[in-house]
Amino acid sequence: MHILHLVSSNGVYGAERVILELSRGLKDIDGCKVTIGVIKSVQDPHIEIAEKAHEYGIDTTLFPCSGKFDFKTVSEIGNFIKQNHVHLVHCHGYKSNFFGLLASKRRIPTMTTNHNWLKWHWKLKLYRFIDIFFIRYFDLIITASDKIKEEMLQYHIAENKIRVIDYGINIEDFDTPILNGALRKELGIHENEKIIGTIGRLKTEKGHIFLLQAAKEILKQFKDIKVVIVGDGPLRNQLEAQARTFGIEKNIIFTGHRKEKLELLTMMDIVVLPSVEEGLPIALLEAMAAKRPVIATRVGAIPKVIKDHENGILIPPKDADALQKSVCHLLGDPRLSHRLAVEANLTVKMNFTSERMCKKYYKLYVELTNRN
């Protein structure tokens, strides 16, 4: 069975890491071949996922694209499907949905994963409505969130086509001791300083502004604190300016895009996910696997993973005051922080591994290919 994962990417973020984990697991199954196909924008090329896939020994191919809907790209994907005997196309995102459906010509099964429909910008709202039209023509639609499933049902997408499959991560990546002293020194963080960290693309729905608002108050109580914001995105300049306005810029570190995700995670004393809108963030599962105490907002599928004060702390979205109080509470109670971190790690090992995710996807692949 040859599976083509199709994606148009802006870097290696949550959805991309799901594709990589899924591909890593599938390529080890006898008789299963996996290729990650990257739709490469000529104007703004991002092939980071292909580079990461190469590190994992996963086959990749690039499909150049000169516009939003380049029909030459459709033709190239179609030729690849035919020449390489692809049995199933698995799409990720509105752009790959469009190209994948047209390229498959309904001759082979098609599946898509709806990682999340974002709506905070008018362009994203437009893309969502375009996707609503195309997504109903897929044989199966997967999501990691019941909330996203409910949203799709509101648009009269057939319920019998929708499956909910939890994301999973490779626990083995977190089993080896990770050294981060050199990275800590590079970032200018002293040994006695505590680190409040977050990982995610710098865009509105991730809620970084509320972390900065909380940090302003946290620093009044705890002086030896660094807030490390890992990731890049359209809001970086605005967030940096806001940190200067608050007078806390010396305590805020914007790392930009970094490859050392595990080293950065294990540096953090507390991981914060202040999202306004989410599906099931991979950064959450990774923080838990790394035995970090987590404070996250009660949005998307996060409450499915975090049970308040059992394996993490849940707060309302857009509530900087609640975030500040929760961070200060954990900073002042190391025993609670340790207990939450241990329970978080157990939660991921029991319920959110890449092995579990891959088995569920593979079962659906077999089901779809056997229909034809």
CA dist 296 and 121 (Å) reads 23
* Integer CA distances (angstroms), 267 to 1, 240, 287, in order: 41, 22, 11
C-alpha dihedral, 362 to 365 to 366 to 371, nearest 10°: 160
- Return the SS3 of 69: coil
The average pLDDT across 190-206 equals 93
Q: Does residue 367 have a pLDDT over 50? A: yes
User: pLDDT tens digit string along 154-163?
Assistant: 888 999 999 9
Output the pLDDT for position 196.
Answer: 97
Instruction: For the chain, give the mean pLDDT.
Output: 91
| Rounded average pLDDT over 163-182 | 86
User: What's the pTM value of the predicted model, to 2 decimals?
Assistant: 0.87
Q: Which of 116-120, 151-155, 354-358, 363-367 has the weakest average pLDDT?
A: 116-120
Residue 173: pLDDT band with limits 50, 70, 90: confident
- Is 171-351 in the same CATH topology as 2-168+353-371? yes
Q: How is the chain split into domains, by residue range?
A: 2-168+353-371, 171-351
pLDDT, tens digit (0-9, with 9 covering 90-100), for 127-158:
667 778 788 899 999 998 888 898 889 888 99
**232 vs 43, higher pLDDT:** 232
- Determine the pLDDT at residue 93: 85
- Summarised one tens digit per residue, pLDDT across range 103-128 is 998 789 999 999 876 554 545 566 66
Provide the pLDDT for residue 245.
Answer: 96
| CA gap 128, 93 in Å, rounded | 10
Q: What are phi and psi for residue 341, nearest 5 degrees? A: -65, -45
Would the CA dihedral through 358, 364, 367, 371 be positive or negative?
A: negative
More confident residue, 66 or 76: 76
What pLDDT, on the 0 to 100 scale, is given for residue 117? 60
| pLDDT, position 122 | 46
Query: What is residue 248's predicted lDDT score, i.e. its pLDDT?
Result: 96
What three-state secondary structure class fits 30?
A: coil
CATH architecture of residue range(s) 171-351: 3-Layer(aba) Sandwich (3.40)
pLDDT on residue 118: 55
pLDDT at 120: 47
Residue range 197-204: mean pLDDT, rounded: 92
The two tokens of residue 362 are 């593979």
Which superfamily does CATH assign the domain made up of 2-168+353-371 to? Glycogen Phosphorylase B; (3.40.50.2000)
Mind listing the pLDDT tens digit for each residue in 233-290? Answer: 899 999 999 999 999 999 999 999 888 888 899 999 999 999 998 888 999 999 999 9
DSSP states of 85-98:
T--EEEEESHHHHH
Q: What are the pLDDT digits (tens) for 205-223?
A: 999 999 999 999 999 999 8
| pLDDT score, position 270 | 98
pLDDT at position 258 is 86
68 pLDDT more than 70: no
Element (H or E) spanning 335, and its range? Answer: helix 334-351
Residue type, 73: T
Q: How far apart are CA 60 and CA 134, in angstroms?
A: 25
Strands 313-315 and 294-297: parallel
